[in-house]
Amino acid sequence: MIKKIYLSLLIAMITSNLIYPCSAIVLKNENQILLAKNFDWTYHDGIIIKNLRSISKTAYYTHQGEPAQWTSKYGSITFNQNGKEMPYGGMNEKGLVVEMLWLDLTKYNINEEKKYLNELEWIQYQLDNFETVQQVIDHLNEVKIYPIKGKIHYILTDKTGESVIIEYLNGMPTTYKKEANVCQTITNHSVHQSEPYKNQIKGIRKNNTAPTYRYYQLEQKISNFKVKTELNEAYAFNVLQKVTIPKGDFRTMWSIVYNVHQKSISFLTDTHKEIKNIRLPDLDFGEELTYFPLHQNEIINLSRELKSFTEHISYSYLSPSLIHLGFDETVTKDISQHQFLQSKGVSSYFASNYFHFEISIPLEEEKQTVFIAVMDSEEQFKKREVVTGGYLYGTVPNNGTLMVHIYGLKNGKYSMLTFIDNNKNRNLDFDKQGKAMEKYATFSHFTFANENELTFSSTSADFSISNAQVAVKWNH
C-alpha cells in the first residue's frame, strides 16, 4: 500500500497573481450569529441570484455515472460568477449559510460509486435541501463531489448557532464542528495545518496574501472577542478589513456579512464600497428567477430591486469567468445551457474533453522540500505561470508518496517540472558542467545536458483521461 503524505507549513504560488486566498469567520454570541467572508480572486464581475424553491434540478454531467437529481425545498440568495447552480456561497430562507475557500491539498474521491455533483453545485445542493448544519452532516455521504476545477473546503453555520468546516483531504469528507457561541475561522490551509498558528506568528510572512497570517489575525479577533461585545455588521466588516488584500491583480473583490437571525445579507465590493443589503424575508421564492449586479452603489436596499434573470444574462457573466479559469468557449456554452434546461445528460463536452491529473511523487527521506509546477503552453512556461491548482511548494515532514491532484484540464499537451529543492531557492540548480544538482522529473523522458535545455517541449507530453495518472521517476 502506498503511504500517502501531504505538504505541510508552506503552499505558495509561482507568481503572486495565482495565489488563491479567501478568509471566513463565524462570529457568535447569545444575540447574533454572523458569517463574514472576504472573496479574494483575480476575476472581478459578480452577481447575486434569487434561487427559487420547488425547482427540479440535475447535476451537470461530468463523467460516466449518475448525476444527482433533487427538487429545491428552500429558496436562497447566492453570490455567483459562473451562472446559476454554481455559486461561491449563499444563505437560504431557513438561515443556513454555506461558503467556500480554496484549499490546495483537497482530494475528492472521484472513483466512488455514488451520485455526483461538482464542487460548486454542492453549495447550491445544501442550500436547496437543508435547514441546519447537522442536517448537512447527516446527509454528507449521500453524494460525491466530482469537480470541474476547484480544490476547496467549506464553512457553514445556521440558526442554531452551530458551525462546521468540511474538508476533503483523502477522498472522504472530514467535519470540524463548533457548538453555539463558539466562534470559528478558516483561510486556505486545512484545519490541521492552521491550528499551530492560532497564537503565534513565528516564521509567518506578515502579509495578507499569506493564509497563515490571515488565520492568525482572525484567531486573535476570536481570542479577544468578548461575549458582551455588540455584535453587528459593522463589527464584522471591521474584522474582514484586517485581512483584506486591498490592491493588485489579486485582491479582495467583495466582502459579505450574513446575519443568520435576521436572514439578511450585507456586502460591499472593491470598487463600490457602499454597503448594500438584502433581506430574505422580503423576497418571494415562489416566483421569478431574479438577480442583481454586485458592483454598483446606486441601489443600497436590493430586496425589491432584483431583475429578471435569463440564460442570455447568465451567459454574459458565466462565460468570461469560466474562460478565466481555463475552460474553452464550447464548455461554457454547454454548462450554461444545462443550468437552464436541467436535463439529465448521458454525455457532455466536459466529459469528453477534460480530465483530472493525479501525480504521485516518491519521497525517500523525511523533511524534503518539494517543488512542482504544471503549465499548458510555451507562453505559460516562459512567464512561469501555472494552470489553476498546478503549483505546490512546501516541506514534507515524512517520507512516502506525495499525491498531487489538478482538476478540470482540457485534453492536450502539458509541461511539468518537479524537483527536491535542497537549496530551498525554488530553482532547479545546475553545476558548472551543466548537470542538475538536485533530483528532478518532468513529463518527458528527456535528460538535460544544461539549464538551457529546460523548455516547454522538453518537459511536456500529451494527456487525456486515458493517461492522467502519473508516477514520477526521478532523474539523478
Residue 20 has what pLDDT? 63
Q: How far apart are CA 166 and CA 108, in angstroms?
A: 12
Q: Are residues 454 and 319 in the same domain?
A: no
* Cα three-residue angle 115-119-120, rounded to 5 degrees: 115
CATH code: domain of residue 306: 3.60.60.10
End-of-domain residue from the set 306, 341, 376: 341
What burial letters (b/e) apply to 207-236, b meaning 16+ CB within 10 Å? ebbbbbbbbbbbbebbeebeeeeebebebb
Please list, in sequence order, all residues whose beta carbon lies within 8 angstroms of the beta carbon of residue 119, skipping any fewer than 6 positions away.
Answer: 100, 108, 145, 147, 148, 149, 150, 152
In a domain, 442, yes or no: yes
pLDDT of residue 28: 97
Out of 341, 371, 389, pick the residue that ends a domain: 341
- Rounded to an integer, what distance in angstroms lies between the CA atom of residue 394 and that of residue 322? 29
CA distances from 137 to 67, 87, 310 (A): 20, 20, 33
Domain co-membership, 322 together with 357 = no
* Structural domain for 405, as ranges: 353-471
Give me the pLDDT at residue 5, please: 42
Domain boundary among 341, 369, 387: 341
Q: Residue 14 falls within a domain, yes or no? A: no
Residue 476 lies in a domain: no
Identify whether residues 102 and 182 lie together within a single domain: yes
> Number of folded domains in the chain?
2
Instruction: Confirm whether 3 is domain-assigned.
Output: no
Residue 4 within a domain: no
Please check whether residues 40 and 179 belong to one and the same domain: yes
Do 196 and 309 belong together in one domain?
A: yes
**Mean pLDDT in each 10-residue stretch from start to end of the chain (476 residues)?**
39 40 95 98 97 98 96 99 98 99 94 96 99 99 97 98 97 97 97 94 88 96 87 98 94 98 98 98 98 98 98 98 96 98 90 97 93 95 91 86 95 97 93 91 90 93 96 92
The dihedral through the CA atoms of 453, 456, 461, 467 has a sign that is: positive
CA distance 251 to 22: 10
